[in-house]
Amino acid sequence: MAGKVITLTESNWQTEVINSDKPVVVDFWAPWCGPCRIIAPIIEELSNEIDGVKFGKLNTDENPNIAMQYGIRAIPTIMLFKGGEIVDTRIGVQPKEALKQMVLSHI
């Protein structure tokens, strides 16, 4: 499955998330994080199942300023942005259905 999940960085954050005309699901993660590896394929699957929503991953080790700005204390943290604002947040590994409902309830 070709991934629709984009890599978010401090340089593209404003364009891809804050100024996005679509809701954006952001997976805050790090390569050393075991639970992050569990949730990654779920995010990938949802990106292929839900239209009209952008999905992205932000490596907190490589982009600490954004992680700090949003008060990320535990990963994985999944945030849903709409109109540049956080509208929902989930921390830790979540079942696919729970994440899907979180996203669908805001589109």
Instruction: Give the catalytic positions in this structure.
Output: 33, 36
Say how far apart CA 6 and CA 98 lie, in whole Å. Answer: 21
Of 80, 93, 103, the closest CA to residue 26 belongs to 80
Alpha-carbon torsion (11, 18, 86, 40), positive or negative: negative
Which residue shows structure tokens 């590896």? 37
